[in-house]
Amino acid sequence: MTDTPTASSASTAGSAPTAGSATSAAAAASGSDLHLDLPATGGRRAALMAALREAIRSGRLAPGTRLPPYRTLAADLGVARNTAADAYAELVAEGWLTARQGSGTTVADRAEPVAPSRARRVSPPRPIAHDLRQGQPDAASFPRAAWLAAGRRAITAAPNEAFGPGDPRGRRELRAVLADYLARARGVRTDPERIVVCSGFAHALRLLFDGEGAVLPARENGPLAVEAYGLAFHRGLLARAGVTTVPLPLDEDGALVGGLAGLPEVRTALLTPAHQFPTGGPLHAARRSAVVDWARGRGGLVLEDDYDGEFRYDRQPVGAVQGLDPERVVYLGTASKSLTPALRLGWMVLPDHLVDRVLAAKGEREAWASALDQLTLAEFIESGGYDRHVRRMRRRYRDRRDHLVAALAARAPHIEVSGIAAGLHAVLRLAPGTERSVLKAATYRGLAVDGLADYRHPLTGRDEMPATDGLVVGYATPPDHTYQAAVAALCGILPPPL
């Protein structure tokens, strides 16, 4: 049996080793820390073998796991070297372990964990064959090479202070680039000092509404008007912060903002003007002006969630509502749809009077986004890589939406695709009373897709806005090689015309 330490090295903070725990510096140097609890009395070899068998049987030591050399294990556990060597040798003979000269001792491949006999058996979930859930871009299209190149350039050119604590507003480089980009591409009127970098839209909501330092605390600001359809996750976040949300009905021209006049206790409205989520209609120009006028007259605010504003396929994207009045609109954007949600970068374009309050709510350091990611994104935008990526993805998503619409026209012409040609999802209108059965059929066939009912605000009155059956289909999620099959599977579960 070999006792050669591995080539890898790991450093662990530790206390002095005890007789019952293998966590010494020697084990750390071998690259294979191992924790085992041995009884204080009884035969040491038998106890060691029993502990190793139990760790393997339970799955804590998976097949292929490298064990520490027996000398290291013996020192850690306070047992004789021969005791550890004999235990290893016997477990190798029993088939629990494998030992090869030069490779050390590992858990045998066939030493699979045994499920406890009393464990309740749970049927495994049906595997997802096709994922058409909304919420994320095409992961395979992330521009890895261009992003890495931008990162190298950004980090090479970064000043030394960039690797220190930094500014709670976010890196100046990113805020300056964002101010230029948002003005050019989204019609936003701002300067770098009014931009605060955050970790995404949910983080922005928490800064505004959650906690003792919230910028817009519920006890002072009153209820928040939201669209009748939206993410339940965001409603839940607001509810946990003590914020009451009041739904605004929708039609094909977006939220019916005229209803705000009849809600005297409401001073803030959260909208998705460029592309209502999820129903798909943009906020009509007259309503855009009307909601800004309402905020001015009420001394309130409009929170503009521009979650996928760059992706419109039938015409140039409509500019941000923020451009109509930068002092009454908080503009919220992220890289989650344009690049990837894994980046965890977003930005708040704030009225001047809210900047210091948001910075105070953000606090000291812990809630800050990675400075290195910020530098990389700044370089990616400034070098033109971001624009090229957005244009490329705009073509890709337009083609995917076109394929979906064409497939429906051919196989289910009675199914309407609502909303404008934009974004990363489409809503398919279904006949009344059919949504639940269609979702069951989708689950049975391994198709993951969302129902429209899940997005409806529970306080939306049926007289104000009748409920509509439908599917929210994310056409950005499947990889290219499975997309046509995913659309075909979708068409296969749609109900026939009544």
| Statement to judge: residues 426 and 452 lie in one domain | yes
Contact 146/340 with Cβ under 8 angstroms?
no
| Statement to judge: residues 60 and 178 lie in one domain | no
pLDDT at residue 125 in the model: 56
Residue 115 falls inside a structural domain = no
pLDDT at residue 249 in the model: 97
Least confident segment among 56-60, 237-241, 321-325, 337-341: 56-60
Report pLDDT digits (tens) over 395-442: 999 999 999 999 999 999 999 999 999 999 999 999 999 999 999 999
Q: Indicate the number of domains in the chain.
A: 3
| Statement to judge: residues 242 and 291 lie in one domain | yes
Residue 15 falls inside a structural domain = no
pLDDT at residue 60 in the model: 87
Residue among 104, 49, 50 nearest 72 (CA): 104
In the predicted model, what is the mean pLDDT of residues 66-71? Answer: 89
pLDDT at residue 112 in the model: 52
Percent of the chain, pLDDT > 90? 67
- Give the amino acid at 82: N
pLDDT at residue 64 in the model: 86
Distance CA 47, CA 481 (A): 53
Question: What CATH number is attached to the domain comprising 449?
Answer: 3.90.1150.10
pLDDT at residue 165 in the model: 85
| Statement to judge: residues 470 and 394 lie in one domain | yes
Non-local CB neighbours of 62 within 8 Å, separated by 6+ positions: 107, 113
pLDDT at residue 35 in the model: 82
Residue 455 falls inside a structural domain = yes
Q: Rg of the Cα trace of the chain?
A: 29
Distance CA 176, CA 377 (A): 12
Residue 126 falls inside a structural domain = no
In the predicted model, what is the mean pLDDT of residues 213-228? Answer: 91
Residue 19 has pLDDT above 80, yes or no: no
Dig out the tokens for 77 from the structure.
Answer: 């556990």
Distance CA 266, CA 218 (A): 11
Better pLDDT: 305 or 99 = 305
pLDDT tier, 76 (very low <50, low <70, confident <90, very high otherwise): confident
pLDDT tier, 55 (very low <50, low <70, confident <90, very high otherwise): confident
Domain finish residue from 348, 382, 416: 382
Domain finish residue from 382, 416, 443: 382
pLDDT at residue 366 in the model: 65
Residue 17 has pLDDT above 50, yes or no: no
Non-local CB neighbours of 217 within 8 Å, separated by 6+ positions: 209
Distance CA 337, CA 413 (A): 30
Least confident segment among 94-108, 241-255, 304-318, 460-474: 94-108
Percent of the chain, pLDDT > 70? 89
Whole-number Cα distances in Å, 380 to 343, 348, 475: 13, 19, 26
Question: What CATH number is attached to the domain comprising 84?
Answer: 1.10.10.10
Residue 90 has pLDDT above 60, yes or no: yes
Residue 493 has pLDDT above 80, yes or no: yes
pLDDT tier, 110 (very low <50, low <70, confident <90, very high otherwise): low
Domain holding 394, by residue range, is: 131-137+388-493
Contact 415/493 with Cβ under 8 angstroms?
no
What predicted TM-score, i.e. pTM, was given to this entire model? 0.78
Distance CA 480, CA 485 (A): 10
Distance CA 113, CA 55 (A): 9
Residue 271 has pLDDT above 90, yes or no: yes
Report pLDDT digits (tens) over 437-472: 999 999 999 999 999 999 999 999 998 899 999 999
Outline where DSSP puts E strands in 74-172. 97-100, 104-107, 130-131
pLDDT at residue 116 in the model: 47
Better pLDDT: 295 or 31 = 295
- Terminal CA-CA length for the chain: 74
Domain finish residue from 69, 91, 107: 107
Residue 484 falls inside a structural domain = yes
Dig out the tokens for 124 from the structure.
Answer: 């495994």
Residue 115 has pLDDT above 90, yes or no: no
pLDDT at residue 263 in the model: 96
Residue 320 falls inside a structural domain = yes
Distance CA 395, CA 313 (A): 8
Question: What CATH number is attached to the domain comprising 226?
Answer: 3.40.640.10
Torsion of CA 309, 310, 314, 316, to 10 degrees: 100
| Statement to judge: residues 370 and 428 lie in one domain | no
| Statement to judge: residues 313 and 418 lie in one domain | no
Token pair 């990616």 in the structure block, residue: 380
| Statement to judge: residues 190 and 330 lie in one domain | yes
With left for phi above 0 and alpha for psi between -120 and 50, is residue 365 left, alpha or beta?
Answer: left
pLDDT tier, 317 (very low <50, low <70, confident <90, very high otherwise): confident
| Statement to judge: residues 318 and 452 lie in one domain | no
Distance CA 159, CA 164 (A): 10
| Statement to judge: residues 349 and 463 lie in one domain | no
Report pLDDT digits (tens) over 133-166: 998 899 999 999 999 999 999 999 999 999 998 8
| Statement to judge: residues 483 and 343 lie in one domain | no
Contact 42/80 with Cβ under 8 angstroms?
no
pLDDT at residue 124 in the model: 54
- Give the amino acid at 16: A
Report pLDDT digits (tens) over 94-108: 888 888 777 788 898
| Statement to judge: residues 195 and 321 lie in one domain | yes
Average pLDDT, the chain: 88
| Statement to judge: residues 231 and 275 lie in one domain | yes
